[in-house]
Amino acid sequence: MTEYRKPLPVVTPLERPFWDYARRHELRMQRCTACSRYRYPVSPVCANCDSDGYEWAQVSGRGRILSWVVFHRCYFPSFADEIPYNVAMIALDEGPVMVSNVLAPNDSLRGSMPVEVVFEDATPEISIPKFRPIDA
């Protein structure tokens, strides 16, 4: 594997399971055991009911593009080879919204476009959730 040069997450103990599951190419999120709402980003307490109980529930990995931007300037030297690249908000079918990249030509992106998660194995420890279009 060539050296990964882009920024990597600084994983806190609370977030560790999310990244451990991602390494296995499973997208799991905290689901409140009191009210069943999903929590994302990772949080010690449910924003809906204040419960601190949760389980790591597998989600479908499917969702739709809410919005996106295309970066044409090089803010991070490690991204230079990918300009122009997109950064998109993905609303998962289960509700949480993730910020990621859609692995598709920038001019093909559309609002509400259905997408599914794929995992980029960045390092031996970190696999990054990204998305690709689902063919209709």
Binding site for Zn ion (CB under 5 A): 32, 34-35, 46, 48-49, 51
Q: How far is the CB of 55 from Zn ion (least distance, A)?
A: 12
Locate 118 and state its tokens.
Answer: 């794929």
Give whichever of 48 and 67 is closer to Zn ion, judged by the CB atom. Answer: 48
Give whichever of 18 and 68 is closer to Zn ion, judged by the CB atom. Answer: 18
Can you list the pairs that 19-26 forms with residues at least 24 positions away whose Cβ atoms lie under 8 Å? 19/125, 19/126, 19/127, 21/56, 21/58, 22/119, 22/126, 22/127, 22/128, 22/129, 23/125, 23/126, 23/127, 25/119, 25/127, 26/58
Locate 119 and state its tokens.
Answer: 């995992």
Q: How far is the CB of 85 from Zn ion (least distance, A)?
A: 35
Q: How far is the CB of 32 from Zn ion (least distance, A)?
A: 3
Q: How far is the CB of 68 from Zn ion (least distance, A)?
A: 30
Give whichever of 49 and 97 is closer to Zn ion, judged by the CB atom. Answer: 49
Closest CA to 65 of 111, 33, 26: 111
Give whichever of 45 and 74 is closer to Zn ion, judged by the CB atom. Answer: 45
